[in-house]
Amino acid sequence: GAGKDTALRAAPQHGGGRSTPLPAVTAGRHRLFRVGAAMGPGRRSRGWALGAAGERPHGCEQCGKAFAQASALAKHRRVHTGEKPYRCSVCAKAFALSSGLVLHKRTHTGERPHGCALCGKAFISSSHLALHLRSHTGERKYGCPACGKLFLQSSHLARHKAIHTGERRFKCQDCGKLFGRASHLATHRRVHTGERPFQCPQCEKAFTQKAGLVLHVRLHTGERPFQCNKCGKNFRSSAHLQHLKTHERHGTENRFVPRVDLGNKQEFILQNVVCF
């Protein structure tokens, strides 16, 4: 129709071989995409083609997921290739997206531009703030169909479901070992790569996991956060509480109870429980 012809004439005819949508140039329910059409050996014409609004013409060859823009497809492919071209100049941690690097840099600078209007707590991203706000509202809209447990995030629910299904869909390409979480696989792969990203700022000793670094730093600080409630002796970690066996023969046992809630991490103390 006339509207379509007008839209076609309005499309600029400059170069660029990639197929990218032009959101600003539309015709009714259609959108224009820049395309390259073969015209013979070594020759291609660059023009414009109509596609339905919302069309995703750029499909991933490996998983079939489709995107509206070729640039979005290029970023998605990094999921399969593992490519992380954006590297932090401070700690060398790498990211697949530039936005990930921008957020990560705030962990070094301390910048937290997104503040909660209710309690003043600040966050590095708006998405983190949105999740935090649920702690005020009590909203947990993601429920497990197997046990009814509720979660703040859909990703937390997805991880939880693996407990019921036993699913381990993250496979190590080096040894074939399977994991329930991508983060567990990433940590495991350091066994093969030798990567030790967590370095002690005092003696430069490096570790594959943050937990190892936290425990090591206590050697320098002298911190002993684990205390036996029976005798008051302090330890660097719960694994060092072998002396509990000395109390067991007196008819008592010890167990851990939360002391300080740090989100997903907790500090523990020992509480003596009398056995009847």
Condensed to tens digits (0 to 9), the pLDDT of residues 158-210 reads 888 888 888 887 889 999 999 887 888 989 999 999 999 999 999 989 998 88
DSSP secondary structure string, 20-67? -EEEEEEETTEEEEEEEEEEETTEEEEEEEEEETT---EE-TTT--EE
Q: What is the per-residue pLDDT across 21-35, written as a single tens digit (0 to 9) for each? A: 434 344 444 444 444
Q: Which domain holds residue 123?
A: 57-137
pLDDT at 243: 67
Whether 23 is in a domain gets the answer: no
pLDDT at position 168, please? 83
- Domain end among 117, 137, 157: 137
pLDDT less than 50: residues of the chain: 1-51, 254-276
Q: Is residue 77 situated within a structural domain? A: yes
Per-residue pLDDT at 53: 53
Residues 82 and 109 in one domain: yes
105 with 146, same domain: the answer is no
**120 and 158 fall within a common domain:** no
Bridge partners, residue 87, by sequence: 94
Are 232 and 242 a contacting pair, CB within 8 Å? no
Q: What is the pLDDT of residue 240?
A: 60
pLDDT at 162: 82
DSSP state of 230: T
Based on the structure, what is the number of domains in the chain? Answer: 3
**Closest C-alpha to 269, from 260, 261, 259:** 259
